[in-house]
Structure 1
Amino acid sequence: MTNYKHPNDSRVVSTDQVLVNDLNNYNTLFGGVLMKKLDNNATLSARRHARVKECVTASTDSIDFLHPVRQTDSVCIESFVSYTGTTSMEIFCKVIAEDMMTGERKIAATAFLTFVALDEDKKAIQVPNIVPESAEEKYLFESGEKRAAMRRKRREHSKELTQIIGLEKPWERGDIHVRKSE
């Protein structure tokens, strides 16, 4: 296996129209619909980078909704591997909304997702490193270690939290008082 790849090797671009069923009560794209599209694109980027049958989402690190996407827009999602650990891949996604009537384009959202490549036994495998080329890729790569450190810290916090939060049904816990409807 080559020990490095370029972000372009994992780049996936998909464009869809926004349909009426994709809209919320504000006539803008449902955030959840966009999140599904992001996860699909990012999965393909991860699999393309690792060249494996299966990659799993380890975390959705952030999704920043920057501009609403309307029914008159197309939604273009571009994703690529921006940073790697030993077995993990950070995927950067940008969402561009294009008004189909005027041609105006805006960055509608950005997101970072982390994936792990799995072998046939569902074990994490080592992935190739990244060698960035463009200014955008270099910026994302250079800031990648900082985001990876934040992910590790957040994951530790999540593990601590699981020791405190309960699995009981709320109405079966003694600390919760449930009101009956009148």
Structure 2
Amino acid sequence: MEGRKVSDSETVATHRALPSDANPAGNVHGGVILKHIDLAGAVCAMRHARGHTVVTASIDRMEFKAPAHVGELLILRASVNMVSSRSMEVGVRVESEDLLTGDVRHVASAYLTFVAMDENRKPTPAPPLILESQTHQRRNEEAKRRRELRQEERRREKLAQESMAHAAGGEPVRAKEFY
């Protein structure tokens, strides 16, 4: 399978914050921001996996750094950081621009894991990632470390489930793993 460059799938999306997106104080709801993060990340992942739909497998390290307000423009920048045998990590940075003053603030960041799906809705490999810069290389290394931490956490959870099931005399309940 031929690799794809990071720049081939980088995505920028925007959303103007409206009153229906906000609480009574005029701050955009975190859920609205999260929805747009997921959409921008999915577009980026689909651009990388061309020909395949993608599903969100997890959202890791969602951080809200500053509020976004009604009337401001949310700018979402998404980039594939890593591709493994069965998943892709996409980083999304959200900025808020005051359209009257031009001031821009970093509002939120998140790392999302997506899985490419074939025509039978089964996980399928995504193309390898071609890193083009030192920034891409750094993001890729950081993504690999986050993946290792997630895998270790899943191993600990599995052991805890098996231990609890053994103590109760039954079998553990297992969630389907995409990774």
The amino acid that maps onto 1:73 is E
**Bigger Cα Rg:** 1
TM alignment of 1:1-182, pairs within 5 A? 1-2=1-2, 4-159=3-158
Does the aligned pair in 2 maintain the 1:52–1:118 contact within 8 Å? no
Supply the distance in 2 between the matched residues of 1:143 and 1:116 (Cα, whole angstroms): 19
Supply the distance in 2 between the matched residues of 1:159 and 1:45 (Cα, whole angstroms): 31
- Quote how far apart the aligned CAs of 1:25 are: 3.4
Counterpart of 2:90 in 1: which secondary structure? strand
Q: Which stretches in structure 1 are left out of the alignment for 5+ residues?
A: 166-182
Of residues 24-33 and 104-113 in structure 1, the stretch that sits farther from structure 2 once superposed is 24-33
- Quote how far apart the aligned CAs of 1:158 are: 4.5
Percent identical: 32
- Quote how far apart the aligned CAs of 1:161 are: 6.2
Supply the distance in 1 between the matched residues of 2:143 and 2:56 (Cα, whole angstroms): 17
> CA separation of 1:97/1:154 partners in 2, compared to 1, >3 Å: closer, same or farther?
same
Paired residues, what number? 164
Counterpart of 1:143 in 2: which secondary structure? helix
TM-score, normalised to structure 2, is 0.83
The amino acid that maps onto 1:62 is R
Supply the distance in 2 between the matched residues of 1:112 and 1:40 (Cα, whole angstroms): 13
TM-score, normalised to structure 1, is 0.82
Q: CA RMSD in A?
A: 1.9
1:119-141 C-alpha deviation (Å, 9 max, x unpaired): 11222111122222234322211
Could you tell me which residue of structure 2 aligns to residue 171 of structure 1?
Answer: none
Supply the distance in 1 between the matched residues of 2:160 and 2:23 (Cα, whole angstroms): 33
Supply the distance in 2 between the matched residues of 1:94 and 1:160 (Cα, whole angstroms): 34
Of residues 123-132 and 86-95 in structure 1, the stretch that sits farther from structure 2 once superposed is 123-132
